[in-house]
Each structure stands twice: as structure tokens, then as C-alpha cells.
Structure 1
């Protein structure tokens, strides 16, 4: 949310445009850590899968 929209201020501007309640910056910071850990875990798993597929395609051509 923050990376895609450009920061807490822009997120809150977007929410106010939609006539929604703004998110306090401290709450955004509290949400960053668990979400960041999840995104990192998904990225590592994806990289692992891509590496295994790459290795399998190279070994099958031998």
C-alpha cells in the first residue's frame, strides 16, 4: 500500500478521496513488519521454485 501509492500521506489522501477514514501513521508502521516478513517469505519461495525449475530444465537437456 505504501510503496504502490507513495507514502502514508498519499495513502491518506487517497482514502480521503474515497471518503474513508484515514490511517494513522503509527498504525501503518505497526502493519509494516508482519506484512514485510510475509512478502519476504513469498519472494524467497518464488525464487526457490524458479531456481528449481531452471535447474530441472538445464538437467533435462543434458
Structure 2
């Protein structure tokens, strides 16, 4: 599944719309971290490893 930038943007808008950042900095930071974590984990990594094993040589995140 490709990274969904629009979903991340929507979630960040929700967070900033609800938050009172003067007294809720810890809560906002945790919510942002969760949103970014979800965004990063929604991507797919594909690539090619050498035959016989070894490190990924050609790869991309979508």
C-alpha cells in the first residue's frame, strides 16, 4: 500500500484543531508521533537482495 499523505495531513489537522497547545504539549506530541508512526508503517518497501542473501541493494518505499 502506498504512503497516504492526505490521511496524515487530515490527522494532523484534527490534532491541531482539537489541541490547546499551551497546556497540552505532551498530548499533542504523542498524537503527532502516533500519526507519523501510522503513516510510515502504511508504506510498502520493495527491493532486490543478492542471491545467496545479503543486504538490500535496490529498494524503494511506496
Normalised by the length of structure 2, the TM-score is 0.34
RCO comparison, higher one (Cα < 8 Å, 6+): 2
Higher strand content, 1 or 2: 2
Task: Determine which structure has more spread, i.e. the larger CA radius of gyration.
Answer: 1
Normalised by the length of structure 1, the TM-score is 0.34
